[in-house]
Amino acid sequence: MKTLSEIIRELSFLQLQIKLHIGSQDSCNGYGWYTVYYVDVLETIEFCDKCRRNKGVDYEDDYYPNYHQHSHRSELKSIFSGTFRNDSDLVEALSLLLKQKNIG
């Protein structure tokens, strides 16, 4: 099984941004505190504002007489987020995401 750092590295090669926050949370029955992992994986989407507004797509190759200068923009879209009680569950969930992104 891959380590968390290997998975994060591979996700970054796919031009995804990963936010990982580690904190503490009280247990359900009051028996102590646990480490909790919060993860959010973001995809950067580049688009042309004019193409989205006029054609309904991120980019359109339009030719004469409808050509225009593209208006380049980018936005972040969350494609995965979750809260995990242990790092093995986090690694497993990110591994599944990595498999989906590599196949699809």
DSSP bridge partners of 36: 23
| 28 CB-side CA count, 13 A | 1
Is residue 15 one of the residues assigned to a domain?
A: yes
Query: How much is the pLDDT for 64?
Result: 62
Residue 65 falls inside a structural domain: no
Asked whether residue 9 is domain-assigned, the answer is: yes
Is residue 49 situated within a structural domain? no
Q: Which domain holds residue 99?
A: 4-43+74-103
Q: For the chain, how many structural domains are there in total?
A: 1
What digits encode the pLDDT tens for the residues 50-100?
A: 888 888 888 777 756 666 777 888 999 999 999 998 889 999 999 999 999
Q: What is the pLDDT of residues 36-50, one digit of tens each?
A: 999 999 999 988 888
Q: Is residue 55 part of a domain?
A: no
58 domain residue, yes or no: no
What DSSP state is assigned to residue 88? H
Question: Higher pLDDT residue, 27 or 10?
Answer: 10
Q: Residue 68 domain-assigned?
A: no
Helices 4-13 and 87-103: angle between axes, nearest 10 degrees: 30
User: pTM of whole model > 0.85?
Assistant: no
